[in-house]
Amino acid sequence: MSGNDAAAPKRIQIIEAATVVFSQKGFYKAKVEEIAEAAMVGKGTVYEYFKSKQDLFQQMLIFISQKYEQAVKEQVQQVDSFSDKLRVLIEANFNFSEEYKNMAKILLIDAPPMSEELHQIIQQSKRQNLQRLAALIDEAINKGQARRVNSYLAAQVILGALAVSGGQVMFEDEFTSSKESVTELVDIILNGIGY
């Protein structure tokens, strides 16, 4: 009757192991057995809780996206000004990307063609993400804190910049995306680069 078990025993254990292994190796190179080992359960046990490797991957993605939702939503609500919200959002992204490396990219960008079902899940997650940010921008626009830009497109710009800058996706060595750069990033996004 351990609180641990009660919370979600094996299933969560396995999902968490999966986040680690899938993050490190990607979907195809990750072996089910490896995940089972990391979760300290037998290989067969994975199939007690998940229909297939892909199913596990999908469940994991849902799990992660929920964590992401949480992390971002809560923190953004705790500050008021638009620029602070932006800053918090960017920081949350940095941290999240740090933890879930490749998985973050999938949520932000897209997955390679997999099952249609999975595609839907990812699309939905991305859309939510985008819409939340677009709503944030619209709100700022209404409050007079932002220009009347296409909020959806602006949200894309911001998430795109994050996917790249934050996810050490493209610039790995060059620029270890530090806290200082967050300030500059916010500045660029708020004020643009032109006069």
**3-state SS, one letter per residue, for 51-75:** CCHHHHHHHHHHHHHHHHHHHHHHH
The distance of closest approach from Cβ of residue 194 to a second copy in the complex, given in angstroms and rounded to an integer, is 3
Which of a second copy, DNA, none interacts with 92 (beta carbon under 5 to 8 A by kind)?
A: none
The distance of closest approach from Cβ of residue 25 to DNA in the complex, given in angstroms and rounded to an integer, is 10
Stretch that binds DNA, among 25-33, 71-79, 88-96, 171-179 (CB under 7 A): 25-33
Stretch that binds DNA, among 44-52, 63-71, 89-97, 170-178 (CB under 7 A): 44-52
Are 43 and 36 a contacting pair, CB within 8 Å?
Answer: yes
126 binds a second copy (CB under 8 A): yes
Are 74 and 89 a contacting pair, CB within 8 Å?
Answer: no
CA-to-CA distance for 136 and 85, rounded, in angstroms?
8
32 binds a second copy (CB under 8 A): no
CA-to-CA distance for 34 and 184, rounded, in angstroms?
41
Of 12, 27, 32, 91, the one binding a second copy by CB under 8 A: 27
